[in-house]
Structure 1
Amino acid sequence: MDLDALTAARADQWARLDELARRRRLDGAEADELARLYQSVATDLSTIRSTAPDPTAVANLSGSLARARARLAGAHEPAWSDVARFAVVTAPAALYRIRWWIVGVAAASIVVAVVVGWWVATDDGALAALGPKSARDKYALHDFSDYYAPSSTFASVVWTNNAWLSALCVALGITGIGPAWVLFTNAVNVGSVAGLMATYGRLDDFFASILPHGMLELTALFTAGAAGLRIFWTLVDPGPRPRSRALAEEGRSLLTVAITLVVALAVSGLIEGFVTGSGLPTWVKLGIGAVALAAFWAYVLVLGGRAARAGETGDVDVERGGDVRPVAA
């Protein structure tokens, strides 16, 4: 099929459809005309997609048809099928695309935490920098374990704090420095506490209190940092796409990741608020944390991998993404 010939033959109809779809009021004749044009242009779009899938033509016609469909069908609430599709296709696809970024951020954070923990545990000067001995004694012997007393208030406070850190990584992602600083600071804090607890021979208590919720909580923070750094790297190297388009696409995917992290952090907050400080055996608490972490990665790798192989990116579909300009692959 010759796309230029089809465009020349149908351009007036396409323009008329878009004009009618954008009007605030339609009389009876115009509404009938809109319905006829909708059917005709939908056929044209199907033809273009199957024989000459030009991105600009597809996006323009999809946008016009979406507006026309809204006028014909009237406003409606998002269908549950859209919510389900977001949960099992769009969100895991967005996470899958940054899986190696998550692994890289996690590895770097763990290295920083281990180095800082070793330094605090083996250097008297580093240990003294954490505060006077009386304060260190009180924290290591009492405050650390008392902090995790189960309560709904504590769970909500934990969720708010973690959501705030993740939001900082997302909001400051374009700077590159923002998420890197949040991640570095968090790793230093975790390592410092681990080193302090090690000097009191309570490293086992540290891991028993941190890991049940921390496996998922820290992974969520690493994911937020990875998403933020990914959009920064898109600014540096947009690839074959125009920089503005690349940032728009990655930014929309970043918002998808942020929404999923709200759920992940809520789960980790519940575990921290009701499991970590509970009287359950340590192996049970660690098992709950491991199951939560495994569920997260199964969501990313299984559902996300399947969605990615089907061409999903975590971005909105072509009808909602707006017009795009074709670029070289």
Structure 2
Amino acid sequence: MDLDAYVAEHGGEWRRLEQLSRRRRLNAAEADELVALYQRAATHLSLIRSRSPDPILVARLSRLVLAARNALTGSPSFSMAGVGRFFARTFPLTVYRAWPWWCGVATVFTMLSLAVMLYIVNNPEVAGYFATDEQINQLVNQDFAGYYSQYMPQNQFLRVWTHNALLTGMCLASGVAFIPVIYLLFANAFDVGLIGGVMIAYGHGDVFWGLILPHGLLELTAVYIGAGVGLRIGWAWVAPGPFRTRGRALAETASEGILVALGLIAVLLVSGLLEAFVTPAPVPYVVKDLAGFLVWIGFFVYVFMLGRKAHVEGATTEAEGEIVQAALPAT
């Protein structure tokens, strides 16, 4: 296909379609013209995608077709039904589809944390390479437990929620480049292992597990999901598969990544509430740990039951009414 000739032949129709799409009011003749031009532009987009997928032209026509569709049907409005559908189907489906990635990430870096922790417990003098004796005593006797009660609960909640959301977002976004997300995960896993090893080696293992498990199980799971989905996006660029271009594979997995990021905001909200209100609560450690464990298990049940159900039913992650390539006219 000669793209220059094709653009020259149909450019006038596209400009006219753009003009009609921007008008707030159309008479009957203009509305009929808009429908006809929209159908033709959708066909042009499908042909260009299949025969000569120039990314700039595809992006231009995609925006034009979507604008025309909105002009014909009206922009989608916010509804609680859409929110419910997102959390009942779309979010668990996207997380479920990526489970081999984030479960693999969780396994590798959890084992790393435990290995560092075990090494420090057996070789407590190694902690001296990373902190002075005064800093270690301060951590063990004051700082670790004091961290969870140094602010009012509502302030602590907002603080940890935004911090964890930023860390998870960085893991997801940097997954496409592989190395940055691995560095972030390694640094986080090493810090957890080092602090846990020091606390256990100095006889405060009950404090460490009692304060980190109520919120940490769900919090770390969210971080690992973000990292796993980010790595999945990067791998789609490396190995798009036999029936997709690299650009299309990247766009599809990245769009699912955005959905995961939106859902993880809510997951981290829950872990933030646990950290701010449950972790420092004046109740036995076993009670707090049990509460965190039940919430964590509940999340897995939610993802794998609803996600697998949506997957078996053939559900998609496309927004209702969204134009996808398969839905466009091919002739």
Could you state the TM-score of these two structures normalised by the residue count of structure 1?
0.79
Gaps of 5+ in 1: 1-14, 46-54, 57-61
Per-residue deviation at 1:101?
1.4
Change (3 A) 1:323 1:22: farther
Change in Cα spacing, 1:189 to 1:324, as seen in structure 2 (3 Å) is: farther
Which residue number corresponds to residue 117 of structure 1? 117
Question: 1:162-219 deviations in whole A, cap 9, x for unaligned?
Answer: 1121111012111001111111111100100111011111112111111000010010
Q: In structure 2, list runs of 5 or more residues that go unmatched.
A: 1-11, 44-48, 51-61
User: Which residue in 1 is equivalent to 2:96?
Assistant: 96
Task: Tell whether 2:330 aligns with 1:301.
Answer: no
Measured in 2, the distance between the counterparts of 1:293 and 1:306 equals 20
- Pairs within 5 Å for 1:161-240: 161-240=163-242
Shift of 1:251: 0.4
- After TM superposition, the score normalised by the length of structure 2 is 0.79
1:29 is matched with which residue? 28
Bigger shift: residues 304-313 or 152-161: 304-313
**SS of equivalent residue, structure 2 residue 241:** coil
Any residues of structure 2 matched to 1:143-154 within 5 Å, and which?
A: 143-149=143-149, 151-154=153-156
The whole-number CA distance in structure 1 between the counterparts of 2:142 and 2:284 is 20
Question: SS of the counterpart of 2:322?
Answer: helix
Distance change >3 Å, CA 83–CA 34, structure 1 → 2 = farther
1:311 aligns with 2:310: no
2:171/2:226 contact within 8 Å kept: yes
Cα gap change, 1:233 to 1:249, in 2 (>3 Å)? same
Change (3 A) 1:172 1:101: same
Cα distance in 1 for partners of 2:132, 2:26 equals 80
**CA shift digits 1:241-293 (9 cap, x unpaired):** 10000000000000111111111111101100111011122222112212221
Structure 1 counterpart of 2:88, one-letter code: V
Identity within the alignment, %:
34
Decide which of 245, 252, 262 is 2:255's aligned counterpart: 252
Contact 2:256/2:317 (8 A) holds in 1? yes
CA distance in 2, matches of 1:64, 1:135: 61
Higher deviation after alignment, 179-188 or 243-252 = 179-188
